[in-house]
Amino acid sequence: MMNPLKPSILIILGAAGDLTHRKLLPALFNLFLDKRLPEKFSILGFDRKKLEQEAFRNHLHEGVNEFSRRGKADQESWVRFSRFFKYFSLDFTEKDSYLKLSEELKIQEKTWEEEADHIFYLATAPSFIENIVNHLGEADLLHDQARTRVVIEKPFGRDLASAIHLNETLAHVLDESQVFRIDHFLGKETVQNILALRFANSLFEPLWNRTYIDNVQITVAEQIGVEHRGGYYDNAGALRDMLENHLFQLLGLIAMEPPTSFNQDEIRNKKVDVLHAIRPIPKELVAEVAVRGQYGDGNIEGQAIRSYRDEPDVAPESVTETFAALKLYIDNWRWQDVPFYLRTGKRLSTQIAEISLQFRAVPHRSFPASATELWVPNHLSIRIQPDEEIILRFQAKQPGTAFKLEPVDMRFAYRESFSKQSPEAYETLLLDIMAGDATSFVRADLEKAAWSAISPVLEFWGSTPPADFPNYPAGTWGPKASDELLERDGKQWLLRG
Ligand code: BG6
């Protein structure tokens, strides 16, 4: 099959950094092995670090060996792949660097005798974004809207005001259609499958509303701590690091109205409608609907875990939350008064990401009480990781002469139904960027709506330091207040210890 992608030059700014090493290069190498890269393709890596070509290649090779889903690279493929890239040690805060960059683009296009798409991937610390895009604009590298794209990674600001400011800076030199804001959750296979489950089946959609759904729960639980990212994380916290972006994207997909087409803006319009419909949280209600936590010493699967405040680069008296839970309502016809409970945290007991729709109780229990001791409401769970599964829980009669009900699961597991290994999120997203398809990227208005929705919580938490941190031991399901958030509504987390 001919590869339909146009000649492309991927310019990675921050090429010597962690993201390139762990995510981008392993993903690009896998695309290469799958023959999904454009026939005319080149990667220009820029960073301040002084590195010879050989040292740069070796560094990337190690990254691929360690982080590629296929494991170690075979030597022959690696050598063929490494011809695609070149490293330049340049300071991207200096104007002259962009003259060099511009020259390199021309040299490459001259060799191909063809104009190429230019993809500027900002794999740098967020503080460089504005400086880089301004330089790119000044060097006239962004004017061709059809051929030029800029990719940025979260965090997109740290509150509503800074997010608006960032968007304005981008809008100054770029058309919104050129901006690809990455939320890597949107590249995950099971997340993309939410659209298939909801809109390629007639079975679920009639039930997907306030008449049948009692509550919706979105949990992204991590066992890992902050690893080597204490410096960044201590200034961010769980609300900014995960909830405002990854969990809100899941919320958008799970709660959106059916799109009329697969047009990129149609899907994003439907998602942004959801975020715009989030009922504003009055500041005086924050303590009732939002829970924060920070892990103390604990134990995960037999291993002693030190508290967050003892992690490297974390302030010893830090009040940054490593756990956040939020109860939200979506004010529209479909979801009026259905609570959405979102939670995420680090150093929790299990590594799992799941969205569950809990159905309403049956209107009348005709069975005798002795039959329904184990009765639970139906729920549909979309498990995103570690196992990619969809599970429907319903009641069945236990085998035996007595009439007793027991909940059972109907389970679809990706790895059983499909033998093919799923691509990494970055593989899918990089291909989309090359194809210019922005469906799975965060549009400016969506970003703004997400920050607006959490602003009252950010402000309240920022102005009222927590008195009880650390308030959950590593290896548990978070602070007690997170269970109480649901218990007050007569509900429970479906995933619990
Ligand atoms: C990142 C967060 O965006 O997502 C990290 O900054 C988090 O703190 C990570 O660990 C989780 O992503 P994944 O794909 O490993 O579940």
* Distances, alpha carbon 448 to alpha carbons 151, 184, 320, in Å: 18, 18, 23
Residue 238 Cα to ligand 1 midpoint, Å, equals: 10
What's the confidence (pLDDT) of residue 4? 76
Q: Best substitution site from 22, 242, 442 to test ligand 1's pocket, by max atoms within 8 Å of Cβ?
A: 242
CA angle 97, 103, 106 (to 5 degrees): 145
Please, which residues have CB within 8 angstroms of residue 473's CB and are 6 or more apart in sequence? 295, 296, 297, 298, 299
Can you tell me which atom of ligand 1 is nearest the CA of 246?
Answer: 3
Determine what percent of the chain is predicted with pLDDT higher than 90.
90
Please, which residues have CB within 8 angstroms of residue 421's CB and are 6 or more apart in sequence? 69
Please, which residues have CB within 8 angstroms of residue 8's CB and are 6 or more apart in sequence? 38, 40, 41, 42, 116, 117, 118, 119, 434
Identify the residues whose C-beta falls under 6 Å from ligand 1.
Answer: 184, 222, 241-242
State CA 208 to chain mean position distance: 23
Determine what percent of the chain is predicted with pLDDT higher than 70.
99
Can you tell me which atom of ligand 1 is nearest the CA of 245?
Answer: 3
Can you tell me which atom of ligand 1 is nearest the CA of 188?
Answer: 14
CB 344 within 8 A of CB 384: no
pLDDT tens across 8-37, in order? 999 999 999 999 999 999 999 999 999 999
Of the residues 165, 246, 276, 364, which is catalytic? 246
Can you tell me which atom of ligand 1 is nearest the CA of 183?
Answer: 3
Residue 457 Cα to ligand 1 midpoint, Å, equals: 21
CA dihedral 69, 72, 78, 82 (to 10 degrees): 70
pLDDT tens across 172-191, in order? 999 999 999 999 999 998 89
Residue 3 Cα to ligand 1 midpoint, Å, equals: 31
Residue 226 Cα to ligand 1 midpoint, Å, equals: 10
Reading the block at residue 170, the tokens are 């981008």
The number of C-alpha atoms within 13 Å of 68 and in the hemisphere containing its C-beta is 21
Tens-level pLDDT at each residue, the chain (497 residues): 445 789 999 999 999 999 999 999 999 999 999 999 999 999 999 999 999 999 999 999 999 999 999 999 999 999 999 999 999 999 989 999 999 999 999 999 999 999 999 999 999 988 899 999 999 999 999 999 999 999 999 999 999 999 999 999 999 999 999 999 999 999 998 899 999 999 999 999 999 999 999 999 999 999 999 988 999 999 999 999 999 999 999 999 999 999 999 899 999 999 999 999 999 999 999 999 999 999 999 999 999 999 999 999 999 999 999 999 999 999 999 999 999 999 999 999 999 999 999 999 998 888 888 888 888 999 999 999 998 899 999 999 999 998 999 999 999 998 899 888 889 999 999 999 999 999 999 999 999 999 999 999 999 999 999 999 999 999 999 999 999 999 999 999 999 87
CA-CA distance, 157 to 315, in Å (whole number)?
A: 22
Q: Best substitution site from 18, 158, 183, 185 to test ligand 1's pocket, by max atoms within 8 Å of Cβ?
A: 185
| CA dihedral (29, 250, 342, 374) positive or negative | negative
What's the confidence (pLDDT) of residue 1? 45
Residue 224 Cα to ligand 1 midpoint, Å, equals: 10
Q: What is the CA radius of gyration of the chain?
A: 24
Residue 407 Cα to ligand 1 midpoint, Å, equals: 33
Query: Is residue 172 annotated as a catalytic residue, yes or no?
Result: no
Instruction: Say if residue 159 is exposed, middle or buried (CB neighbours under 10 Å; 0-12, 13-18, 19+).
Output: middle
Nearest CA to ligand 1 atom 14: 185
What's the confidence (pLDDT) of residue 365? 84
CA-CA distance, 223 to 347, in Å (whole number)?
A: 4
Nearest CA to ligand 1 atom 9: 242
Most distant CA atoms of the chain, gap in Å: 84
What's the confidence (pLDDT) of residue 3? 58
Please, which residues have CB within 8 angstroms of residue 484's CB and are 6 or more apart in sequence? none
Looking only at the bridges linking them, the beta strands covering 379-385 and 389-397 are antiparallel
Nearest CA to ligand 1 atom 7: 242
Nearest CA to ligand 1 atom 4: 242
- Is the bond preceding residue 386 a cis peptide, omega within 30 degrees? yes
What's the confidence (pLDDT) of residue 446? 96
Nearest CA to ligand 1 atom 8: 241
Beta bridge partners of 292: 324
Can you tell me which atom of ligand 1 is nearest the CA of 236?
Answer: 6
State CA 72 to chain mean position distance: 26
Reading the block at residue 367, the tokens are 């069975």
Residue 244 Cα to ligand 1 midpoint, Å, equals: 13
What's the confidence (pLDDT) of residue 497? 76
Query: Which residue, among 414, 419, 349, has the nearest Cα to 385 in the 3D structure?
Result: 414
Can you tell me which atom of ligand 1 is nearest the CA of 425?
Answer: 14
The number of C-alpha atoms within 13 Å of 176 and in the hemisphere containing its C-beta is 13
CB 478 within 8 A of CB 348: yes
Query: Which residue, among 252, 234, 219, 210, has the nearest Cα to 453 in the 3D structure?
Result: 252
pTM: 0.95
